[in-house]
Amino acid sequence: MKNKQLIECVPNISEGNDLTKIHEIANIVTTIKGVKLLNIDIGKAANRTVITFIGEPKNVIDAAFLLIKKASELIDMSIQKGTHPRFGATDVCPLIPIANISMEETVQFAHKLGEKVGKELGISGYYYEFAALENQKKNLASIRAGEYEGLKEKITNPNWQLDFGPKNYNEKIKKAGITAISARNFLIAYNLNLNTTSIFIANKIAATIRESGSLLKNDLGESVRIPGKLASVKAIGWFLEDFGIAQVSSNLTNYNINSMHQVFYEATKIATELGAKITGSELIGLVPLKAMIDAADFFLALENKSTEISEMEKVTIAIQKLGLNDVKPFHPKERIIEYVI
């Protein structure tokens, strides 16, 4: 047991409204022995659900295969709409090494999953991040550019040929779209809530904090990229219809470099400059305990207070300072990965 290999799988499906479909898709992973379903995070406005489960590699691959199959049967991408970028019924299916397994081994399992999905289900897709076969396909935003609506044109481009499954546009792609499969490090999906409905302000904050920054025209009319403030942070702005507010939606691809508290702190300063306010934040899926402890330590140090307090006190402080209860309740035992496992 001590040396058991564990990987986490976090498929994102393009359905956030039909609870019957969502639970049928998510719960199918529990039919595989040894797989534990950890979390189902439903986003209505985004029309997207993030599902988290964990287990030994072969079991996780079998469970992910069944989930992708079920999602392709129940979700029709030709009529799907939502605020979150997407191009498939199972939009992404990342594998994350958790215990006693290397990233290189996890990549091999990602490729096995893609091959199985392509051959047995006829579903096409790309590999990204550590599983990418080409450098240009490492970045999810790049391979998803154009989204579902642009697939017919994109996959005919020699630079964007599909990595697994049928290579030509077909009826399966028309209905289920395609799937992006990866091996990656733990990612924190973290959204900041604004006291405004302005997507302009949300996008301005996102462009200022994200690593890629923004493109601006210089005096010669040339496009020049202005880097953002925070490395390993991706961000976009959108309007969240569920709560009637604008949000900055961010992905923290390496929380050891920049985590929730840095994003919250920097975004708060920028929002103030723009005449807006960050009212709180929202976590999508699960978060490592370390990220919560780091946030508490940061805010305690900022206020010149002692960090010599209990773990649960620090978790409580992190929830309060980040405003994680702002739009919906945050329950530590359901959202912190170490507590869930």
Domain end among 151, 183, 215: 183
Same domain, 327 and 236: yes
Same domain, 87 and 196: no
Same domain, 171 and 202: no
Is residue 122 within 8 A of residue 176, CB to CB? The reply is no
- When divided into structural domains, the chain yields a total of 2
Tokens (6 digits) for 140 = 């999810």
Domain assignment present for 317: yes
Tokens (6 digits) for 21 = 């479909």
Q: How far is CA 105 from CA 6, 32, 33, 58, 99, in A?
A: 11, 21, 21, 12, 12
Same domain, 192 and 170: no
Domain assignment present for 18: yes
Same domain, 158 and 199: no
What sign for the dihedral angle of Cα 178, 179, 180, 182?
negative
Please report the pLDDT score of residue 2 as a whole number: 67
Is residue 9 within 8 A of residue 52, CB to CB? The reply is yes
Long-range contacts: 215-222, Cβ < 8 Å, 24+? none
Domain of residue 254: give its range.
188-340
Domain end among 183, 201, 230: 183
Give the global pTM: 0.88
Same domain, 246 and 125: no
Domain assignment present for 1: no
Rounded to whole angstroms, the Cα distance separating 145 from 85 reads 8
Q: Is 77 exposed, middle or buried (0-12, 13-18, 19+ CB in 10 A)?
A: buried
Tokens (6 digits) for 92 = 């992404």
Same domain, 147 and 259: no
Domain end among 183, 207, 239: 183
Rounded to whole angstroms, the Cα distance separating 327 from 282 reads 7
Single-letter amino acid code for the residue at 68: I
Which one of 23, 84, 261, 331 is the catalytic residue?
84
Nearest CA to 88 among 34, 135, 25? 25
Same domain, 22 and 170: yes
Q: What are phi and psi of 162, to 5 degrees?
A: -70, 145
Rounded to whole angstroms, the Cα distance separating 189 from 257 reads 15
Is 261 an active-site residue? no
Same domain, 12 and 148: yes
Is residue 95 within 8 A of residue 194, CB to CB? The reply is no
CATH code where residue 235 lies = 3.30.70.670
Domain assignment present for 291: yes
Query: Which neighbouring-strand residues pair with 27?
Result: none
Low-confidence ranges of the chain (pLDDT < 50): none
Please report the pLDDT score of residue 232 as a whole number: 95
